Amino acid sequence: MQLSVNKDANERNSPLGPQTLAQLKPGESGILDRLDLPEDIARRLMELGFLPGHTIVPARSAPGGEPRVYRVDGSEVALRRETAARLILRPASKDPCKALEP
Amino acid sequence: MSDCHDCGGCAVATAPAPARRAAPEHVVAIIGPPNSGKSTLFNRLTGLRQKVANFPGVTVEQRVGRAKMNGHREVILVDLPGVYSLNPRSEDEQVTRDVLTGQMHDVPKPDAVLLILDSTNLGRHLVLAAPILSLKLPTLVILNMADDLSSRGGKIDTGELASQLGAPVALISAAKGDGVEKVFQFMLGTSAGTTSLAPPKMELPILQDVPRCRQWARDVGIGAAYQAPSPPLWTRRLDAIFLHPVIGPLIFLAVVAGVFQTIFRGAKPLMDGLQKLVQISGHWIGDVLPAGILRSLLVEGVWNGVGSVIVFLPQILLLFLFIGILEDSGYLARAALIADRTMAKFGLQGKSFIPLLSAYACAVPAIMATRTIESKRDRLATILIAPFMTCSARLPIYFLIIAAFIQERPFLGPFLGTQAAALLGLYALGFLAAIVTARLLKSSILKSERTPFMLEMPPYRMPTLRSLGLRVYDRSKVFLHRAGTVILVCAVVLWILAHLPLQNGQPPDISDSYAGMIGHAIEPAIKPLGFNWKIGIGLISSIAARETIVATFGTIYGMEGTSDSVGLQQALQKELTPGGAFALLIFFAFAMQCMSTIAVVRRETGGWKWPAIQFAYMTLVAYMCALVTNVAVRSGIFT
């Protein structure tokens, strides 16, 4: 089941650093690599600014840690953890250029 | 999808050729992403000359207004839903696309387009320019929030942007009114037919490819020397408070409590005043008219019936004022964020919160407010449970029965008496029924893969009086119209039923009237609940609107039909056993006795299926629970 795979990925602490948006800690930032979601949902997220290559910064959250607000492409968008866990980040070492964003 | 106009193959689509309105009126569409200030601009351009309806055949709201320009020329403005793209996935996007391409029946194809974008977030908002400009309609690109852009150190070369896009550009502040004259100039130009599109310097991208459209927008921005403003500091500071792990939820609760307190306590004097006014004017009309059938119809039928709705207007006004402040200031998005986790437990989401809160005043505006919920199933679930929330139309009968049957004693020390506790209990029951129903729905017929919750957090802004005023005006107009027409008709019908057939030229005794016959006919069905035929007439009349039951009892018992009428309380004490009285309260807590709600659910769900299911379900729940209550009270379980 996909949900369990998800949870697994969510909890794993990879030496490469955070792998999904859900693993980003406040103060960190990540570059989006791809969206592991059905096409229409991925497209809607892309319209909100979650495009591959964009830098995403986690901000405040609702009490209890989710949904969390993410800063991306000049706006702030709140996502639940289950959605954030499907947004895969670029491995930290591979792409040092973070300044894709204005 | 695209060019269906001319091909002979799709005769079905083109057969009923939409008859264009004869008058060559100039139609301008306003389009923009959510939070771009679209409605503010629309209000600014049209003022009070606007009306709200639905686009034909769909549940998407259509706002149409008229803008008066120099020389008495008028332009028709159509406010389209807020969308990020024209890829038709949601109903909103489909409608937007159909209107812009002239494929929406009964909506003339716009002659020009006002594309409004947030200048402080231009990189992302410019993406929408690609599909709009590719329509080749005369388009004005409006960059809104000019004041924010400059105060936060952002810049844009509008002249260069215009040549990049091949369309005129206006930098304005719709909230403050700065630069709005440029919009009028543009409309004047297009209505005179003097505006034409220049070829864009920057070729438009392939529309289906979101990353490429975004890249195009970035390039256009760079070409126009766009400098994004620094982050909104005030918004960050306020979020540090409003989304603080401890203070945030406390403020949230305070806001909810404040809204509640105001729509009940604050509205009370106004409502009492209106009630008095209706009564006094009713007496006055009664004194002026000669005694007889006509006076009875006008005073007891029309005046009291319509008056029973008008009394709720202060509450509706205050509710919309509050929602307006919350929404325009940007707090509503934060409230939805905070409420999301709790709502998720019942299978709903954060955006369901405000409609459900509104339903405590009235289910009709609440159901209209569900439009902000994108997920179809979540929206439907919210619509279906909203009428369980204790709306203010239940209060008159609650007050009447509680005053007549529950003796006031201290319940929780000096703070809470038994009567107030009973009222709170009824509120809790309604809420419980709502969440249990939500769970049931979401785990059965409305089961869905949870649609991701995505919520954009707009920057905080100071709401303007103008926009709040228009909003309140607009919504109360809709409320009064809908509720007023339905209730007027029902009041007249009930009056006729209670006064016919004539006996010797005189209205019959209530027991022999048609209403009485209906009451007698349903008596066997409601006897187990502890109700007799007179209560039955009240129940039938309250299908139109709950609050009419008190007026109906007034008619039946020949007393003044108000909650605090002692005569009516005494009459009911003789009529009902305690079991029947509690059963009546429970019945009202759960049953869907409201024509206006049924009508609005039908409209919002696009058919009779859901309102029929909802009515049957709620009536069944009400009947069963009332039955259990009557039996339980009678057998002395609660004593």
Contact B457/A75, CB-based, under 8 Å?
A: yes
Q: Where are the beta strands (DSSP E) in B21-172?
A: 26-31, 50-54, 61-68, 74-79, 112-118, 139-144, 169-171
pLDDT at site A74: 85
Q: How many CB atoms lie within 10 A of CB B439?
A: 16
Do residues B27 and B109 touch, judged by C-beta distance below 8 A? Answer: yes
Asked if residue A53 is part of any domain, the answer here is yes
Q: What's the CA gap between B418 and B221, in Å, rounded?
A: 66
pLDDT at site B564: 63
Segment B36-63 shows an average pLDDT of 76
- Chain B residues with CB inside 8 Å of A60's CB? 239-240, 243
Per-residue confidence at B53, pLDDT binned at 50, 70, 90?
Answer: low
| Closest Cα in chain B to A68 | B337
pLDDT at site B454: 86
Asked if residue A101 is part of any domain, the answer here is no
Hey, which residues does A68 pair with through a beta bridge? A61, A79
pLDDT at B438 over 70: yes
pLDDT at B124 over 50: yes
- Chain A residues with CB inside 8 Å of B82's CB? none
pLDDT at site B590: 95
Contact B240/A47, CB-based, under 8 Å?
A: no
pLDDT at site B54: 61
CA distance A84 to chain B (A): 10
In B500-546, which ranges are continuous DSSP H helix? 514-526, 533-542
Contact A59/B84, CB-based, under 8 Å?
A: no
Most confident of B174-188, B281-295, B446-460, B608-622: B608-622
Tokens standing for B433? 């029924």
Q: How many CB atoms lie within 10 A of CB A57?
A: 16
Higher pLDDT, B59 or B373: B373
Segment B204-213 shows an average pLDDT of 80
B123, B239, B337 member nearest A74 (Cβ): B123
Contact A67/B350, CB-based, under 8 Å?
A: yes
- Chain B residues with CB inside 8 Å of A59's CB? 239
Cα dihedral sign, B262-B264-B266-B267: positive
The number of folded domains in chain A is: 1
pLDDT at B429 over 60: yes
pLDDT at B140 over 90: yes
pLDDT at site B266: 76
Q: What's the CA gap between B293 and B492, in Å, rounded?
A: 12
CA distance A45 to chain B (A): 8
Least confident of B8-22, B147-161, B281-295: B8-22
Asked if residue A94 is part of any domain, the answer here is no
Q: How many CB atoms lie within 10 A of CB A70?
A: 26
Crossing angle of helices B514-526/B533-542, nearest 10°?
Answer: 100
Segment B45-61 shows an average pLDDT of 69
Asked if residue A96 is part of any domain, the answer here is no
Q: What's the CA gap between B133 and B141, in Å, rounded?
A: 9
Asked if residue A65 is part of any domain, the answer here is yes
Alpha-carbon distances of B474 from B306, B401, B469, B470, B481, rounded to whole Å? 20, 35, 8, 6, 11
Q: Tell whether pTM > 0.95.
A: no
Give how far the C-alpha of residue B146 lies from the chain's centroid of Cα atoms, to the nearest Å. 31
Q: How deeply is B505 buried, as exposed, middle or buried, from its count of CB atoms within 10 A (0-12, 13-18, 19+)? A: exposed
pLDDT at site B309: 67
In the block, which residue shows the tokens 């802004």?
Answer: B461
Most confident of A8-17, B219-228, B363-372, B511-520: B219-228
Higher pLDDT, B140 or B47: B140
What three-state secondary structure class fits A71?
A: strand
Choose the mutation target among B94, B218, B455 for the interface with A, i.e. most A CBs under 10 Å: B455
Contact B452/A41, CB-based, under 8 Å?
A: yes
CATH code, A22: 2.30.30.90
What three-state secondary structure class fits B144?
A: strand
Q: Give per-residue pLDDT as tens, A46-58.
A: 988 999 999 999 9
Segment B407-430 shows an average pLDDT of 80
Q: What's the CA gap between B525 and B626, in Å, rounded?
A: 12
Contact A44/B249, CB-based, under 8 Å?
A: no
Contact B211/A46, CB-based, under 8 Å?
A: yes
Beta-carbon contacts of residue B400 (< 8 Å; ≥ 6 apart)? B550, B553, B563, B565, B568, B569, B572
Contact B453/A40, CB-based, under 8 Å?
A: no
What three-state secondary structure class fits B455?
A: strand
Segment B369-380 shows an average pLDDT of 80
How much is the mean pLDDT over chain B? 82
Contact B121/A79, CB-based, under 8 Å?
A: no
Tokens standing for B289? 């008219």
Contact A73/B123, CB-based, under 8 Å?
A: yes
Do residues B579 and B630 touch, judged by C-beta distance below 8 A? Answer: yes
pLDDT at B59 over 70: no
- Chain A residues with CB inside 8 Å of B451's CB? 41
Least confident of B11-25, B202-216, B329-343: B11-25
pLDDT at site B39: 85
Contact status of B277 with chain A (Cβ, < 8 Å): no
CB pairs under 8 A between A and B: 99
CA distance B338 to chain A (A): 5
Q: How many CB atoms lie within 10 A of CB B351?
A: 27
Alpha-carbon distances of B514 from B304, B483, B507, B517, B550, rounded to whole Å? 20, 25, 11, 5, 19
The fold adopted by the segment(s) B16-230 is Rossmann fold (3.40.50)
Low-confidence ranges of chain A (pLDDT < 70): 1-16, 92-102
Alpha-carbon distances of B377 from A43, B381, B407, B431, rounded to whole Å? 20, 6, 44, 20
Q: What's the CA gap between B330 and B334, in Å, rounded?
A: 7
pLDDT at site A79: 94
Q: How deeply is B330 buried, as exposed, middle or buried, from its count of CB atoms within 10 A (0-12, 13-18, 19+)? A: buried
Per-residue confidence at B421, pLDDT binned at 50, 70, 90?
Answer: confident
Segment B372-377 shows an average pLDDT of 77
Contact B452/A43, CB-based, under 8 Å?
A: no
Interface ipTM: 0.80
| Residue type, position B113, single letter | V
- What is the domain extent for residue A81? 2-89
CA distance B170 to chain A (A): 21
pLDDT at site A36: 92
Do residues A24 and A61 touch, judged by C-beta distance below 8 A? Answer: no
Alpha-carbon distances of B565 from B203, B422, B499, B558, B560, rounded to whole Å? 75, 20, 23, 11, 6
Tokens standing for B379? 């929206």
Q: Where are the beta strands (DSSP E) in chain A?
A: 30-35, 55-61, 68-72, 75-79, 87-89
| Closest Cα in chain B to A66 | B341
| Closest Cα in chain B to A65 | B245
Residues of B numbered 85-114 whose beta carbons fall under 8 angstroms of chain A's beta carbons: which are they?
Answer: 85, 87, 89
- Write phi, then psi, for B419 (nearest 5 degrees): -65, -45
Tokens standing for B148? 């924010």
pLDDT at B48 over 60: yes
DSSP B289-325: SPSSHHHHIIIIIIIHHHHHHHTTHHHHHHHHHHHHH
- Please give the DSSP secondary-structure letter assigned to residue B262: I
CA distance A20 to chain B (A): 16
**Domain-wise residue ranges, chain B:** 16-230
Per-residue confidence at B318, pLDDT binned at 50, 70, 90?
Answer: confident
The edge-to-edge listing of strands for the beta sheet with B112-118 is B50-54, B61-68, B74-79, B26-31, B112-118, B139-144, B169-171
DSSP B200-220: PSSPPPPTT-HHHHHHHHHHH
In B128-266, which ranges are continuous DSSP H helix? 129-133, 146-151, 158-165, 180-191, 210-223, 233-242, 247-261
Do residues B430 and B389 touch, judged by C-beta distance below 8 A? Answer: yes
Per-residue confidence at B502, pLDDT binned at 50, 70, 90?
Answer: confident
pLDDT at site B113: 94
Contact B243/A83, CB-based, under 8 Å?
A: no
Q: What's the CA gap between B175 and B131, in Å, rounded?
A: 26
pLDDT at site B56: 62
pLDDT at site B620: 95
Single out the residue of B231, B248, B224 nearest to residue B341, CA to CA: B248
Do residues B77 and B65 touch, judged by C-beta distance below 8 A? Answer: yes
Q: What's the CA gap between B397 and B405, in Å, rounded?
A: 12
What three-state secondary structure class fits B636?
A: coil
Single out the residue of B118, B29, B28, B39 nearest to residue B371, CA to CA: B39
Kind and range of the H or E run holding B419: helix B418-442
| Residue type, position B479, single letter | F
Segment B366-373 shows an average pLDDT of 81
- Chain A residues with CB inside 8 Å of B333's CB? 78
Longest dimension (CA), chain A: 39
CA distance B87 to chain A (A): 10
> How large a percentage of chain B has pLDDT more than 70?
88
Segment B268-292 shows an average pLDDT of 82
